Chain A
């Protein structure tokens, strides 16, 4: 109960931010953190919990952005368009994503990487131009509605993942991650649960894509399909700690702030330094930043999970 009050309090605090702070820079940062939280949690459900390392999330993110923009220019209100975007990426997943579960282990990673490369080349060829938002939106461009949409989607996402973390469904996912054959042997229908995991993951990725399209005014159609959108969530989840609720949130905060700091202070060199920092995080923090907190508290997530299993 105490925890619930705390969470509601935090959400209300964030909801009040635009009333207090009118600096666009701060709002931009929070929107970006929300966007990356959504995307990395989307990856986290499939990669962190279920153990299916997907490198194809840019496809689902991109299709969400594409459909959102299309529906929005037709005059559909943004929140409905967002639902449409989310469903469209689920449809895409059911066409190309579910068959990819025939691939196991590293083949899944390589296969989904190929999917995202097919997507970007195809989009570059079909839509070579620049995408514009509806003109009436551009005329009174304002960050506040975008901020609220980002916050709403992020809260929904985090809520869903924390529900997952406590539910039987989440345990089934973890069982598949730890040992797929053993999970099958104790009566978990691994294919069914993998499909559920993929469904949730792509729905959220579609929401993220829609948010991107609502936030960024005009961009080349292929931009949300860029491979960065596939790798960044893997990176963020690893920095924060994959397979946890707080990990990707923490990771997104660190990711966005570090990127900003490096871009300001280092200029041209920023990606270079970023690469180095990133490598060292993977090498020395295998459980991510959340692992440090776990070590300090002496409470290990893994022990927690194994206690739950019994």
Chain B
């Protein structure tokens, strides 16, 4: 029983990270229908930047969130202007296909840049509290994981408040519902998309910093994208609150898979769940009926 609780709590700690990973993808997909499969690549890059900055400065990696996030916001801004703005005029099907292809190209570029700069070796940021655990009635919880959960909850609540309570957030939600109607209401759709896309990029920086505290290598980018897509579907497209629930749910399901079958099939469990949800409840577990 204790073993099950231990595995489950690890699963939930991972789940918070999955939620964070999916957040940017979900925002971009919800607002613009762009399938940014390069999102995992961005997170991997953020992890390497954190690793590299920590190597030189030895400042606490969690503080790098304050640096990496604005940096990625700017990168997102530039890439949108160069690559993604021209896609906005396409109909939905073309948009998905083209954004998929472009972001696949980006993914190739990111993973090769990472191999070029930092080689394909597995790396991790090692801080003084790495490997330290909190012992709670025999269940061991690593401090890094707990920090991840705290950050995930804060970021998701902050984004939710931004989208529901501010004027600009309202504009973003209007654009995600209907581009034309939003234009007619006097919303500058181009600008809203630009900002939403850049926020999506910035949101890749935060899980990147947390990822850097675990072991990572250039090959994780696809794995992360995969997790993000599963959470996106579990949560329901465009649902921000659902992302956290979806992340925890995926973590718990994977933990159950590890407990019942073993670690090698961990991914398969999540993916089968994903296909089932797609088939029978495409609006997601937390989403409303479309």
User: Which residue numbers of A lie inside 8 Å of B, CB to CB?
Assistant: 47, 51, 53, 55, 99-100, 102-103, 105-107, 109-111, 113-115, 117-118, 121-122, 124-125, 227, 231, 234-235, 238, 268-269, 271-272, 274-276, 278-279, 282-283, 286
Contacts and interface: CB of A to CB of B under 8 A. Distances in A.
B147 interface: no
Interface of A is mostly: helix
14 contacts: A53-B97, A55-B100, A100-B275, A102-B279, A105-B92, A114-B271, A118-B275, A121-B265, A231-B104, A272-B116, A274-B108, A278-B101, A278-B105, A279-B105
B152 interface: no
B264 interface: yes
B282 A107 contact: yes
Contact of A234 (B101, B232, B271): B101
A279 B83 contact: yes
A135 to B, nearest CB: 31
Interface string B104-128: 1111110011011000000000000
Given A53-B93, A109-B35, A286-B98, A121 B108 contact: no
- Going nearest first, the 8 A-B pairs with the smallest beta carbon separation are A275-B108, A279-B105, A275-B109, A272-B112, A275-B105, A278-B105, A118-B271, A106-B96
Interface size class for chain B? 35 or more
A100 B96 CA distance: 18
A294 to B, nearest CB: 17
Contacts of B230: 114
Given A111-B278, A114-B271, A282 B116 contact: no
Contacts of B271: 114, 117-118, 121
Nearest to A99: B279
A269 B115 CA distance: 10
A272 B109 contact: yes
B23 to A, nearest CB: 17
A276 B106 CA distance: 8
Contacts of B112: 268-269, 271-272, 275
Contact of A272 (B113, B226, B232, B279): B113
